[in-house]
Chains A and B, each alone.
Chain A
Amino acid sequence: NAGVTQTPKFRVLKTGQSMTLLCAQDMNHEYMYWYRQDPGMGLRLIHYSVGEGTTAKGEVPDGYNVSRLKKQNFLLGLESAAPSQTSVYFCASTPRAMPTNEKLFFGSGTQLSVL
């Protein structure tokens, strides 16, 4: 009963380095989301996907790329990390589109620090 799994849980990068965050869900959900959470800013949507092979930009997409090659996986990439990308990143999934009473299932987060 894994739900939404994020890897890694913690990472420290130097400015300019690249990395990929992996989100995996085992609930056969169509919709997947990447959020970042910063103090005083709440959860902000970076990118989302409404199905395998499709992605779309959210509120704060600059500096990030995503891919959804398999339905169960949603990858978030940082090509050239910047200190402004220091944040806690959350992946979430849901069976179908909003608005419904379907809830978002969240992973446990990735704490990323860019020095």
Chain B
Amino acid sequence: ETGVTQTPRHLVMGMTNKKSLKCEQHLGHNAMYWYKQSAKKPLELMFVYSLEERVENNSVPSRFSPECPNSSHLFLHLHTLQPEDSALYLCASSQESSGLETQYFGPGTRLLVL
């Protein structure tokens, strides 16, 4: 498998549930990203990891908890979410965490919080 993959592709959860989103990149990259894409709003950068260390936490509520166990995998743990957290969550990776590097995106996880 190539590129950036995300699972699950769709997720429905209640506000009291705990779930996790998974991202895997097969490109040998060192940086990984989580973005939130809400309807008719610009993509919002949530977290950035470089060499498995978090280098950016963009004022994201603590109900979102990222984890990067190695350079190929990135998780987003979700708990006690709100309906306004419903969105498409996109994972991306790049060779390094610099603006010169192209970010490659996965297909996203469509999340619905009831």
The finding on whether chains A and B are genuine partners in a shared complex, rather than unrelated, reads: no
List residues of B whose CB falls within 8 A of some A CB. none
